[in-house]
Amino acid sequence: MGIGCYSQGSQVSNWLVVTRSSVLGVYVKVCVSQKNRGPVTKQTQVRKAITNWSFHETFVFSISPKIDHLTSTSIEVKVMQRERLRADVLLADSVFGAEFLCTSRNGFSYWCDIISNPDTLNIQWLDLYHV
């Protein structure tokens, strides 16, 4: 599973491609947390009757460009399975951004590239981890 992410300036966007077979009712949630702001969460449409999913949806989050806010910012991506009678099931997730929050192998270095070059388009694939 993987997530493709890009950022430019104080905007962070995500386009998602996830593959896995034989699970129905799948969607992706993206949550951005930043110092002095509450978390902002957005999610894709639920994909119902397909075995390999591809989410080509874009989310745009406005984040504070202050360096002390950026160093404490994190972005969490969750792949969820919709359940009717109980809570939705977490299938995979990844966190990137602030070093102490990262679960992605290259998530912190990617975030450092974003902070170092805020006016440059930064694109990178990050791993999602099965739960």
Domain ranges of the chain: 2-130
What is residue 52's predicted lDDT score, i.e. its pLDDT? 66
Inter-residue contact 73 to 46 (CB < 8 Å)? no
Backbone angles phi, psi at 113, to 5 degrees: -65, -40
What is residue 29's predicted lDDT score, i.e. its pLDDT? 92
Convert the pLDDT of each residue in 53-110 to its tens digit. 677 778 888 888 787 888 888 888 888 888 878 889 898 888 888 766 666 667 778 7
Q: Which residue type sits at 128? A: L
Inter-residue contact 98 to 112 (CB < 8 Å)? no
The H or E element spanning position 68 is helix 67-70
The H or E element spanning position 30 is strand 26-34
Percent of the chain with pLDDT over 90: 5
What is residue 41's predicted lDDT score, i.e. its pLDDT? 93
The class that CATH gives domain 2-130 is mainly beta
